[in-house]
Amino acid sequence: MRRGGFNFLEPLPASPSYPSLEMDLVLTPLVGFTRQGERLGMGGGFYDRCFADDRLRRQRPTLLGLAHSFQQVETLPTLPHDRQLDAVVTDCELWMCGSRR
């Protein structure tokens, strides 16, 4: 492991990678979220780019956000390429959102 751009531990480049086409579930850390599944991350667009072309799979991975309940907001600005969460788990509850509700 090594420290990455946002000071998170990341696997070394020689580690095996897991393409998004092979994933069933993705745990997504959040800065903020809405009940509709809109998310605010760290601003790098990593998750949006990783799952940008869902046409390559029959079913995209379930996107599960992880947050504290106080991180919920009423609205967030979104762009057409933003990926919506399927659910959010907080310290208080589970929110089902998006098209898999």
Name the residues annotated as catalytic: 39, 48, 82
For tokens 């997504």, what's the residue? 28
User: How many CB atoms are closer than 10 A to CB 94?
Assistant: 9
CA distances from 90 to 9, 29, 30, 74 (A): 23, 11, 10, 16
Quick check: 78 and 38 in contact, CB under 8 A? yes
Q: Give how far the C-alpha of residue 8 lies from the chain's centroid of Cα atoms, to the nearest Å.
A: 16
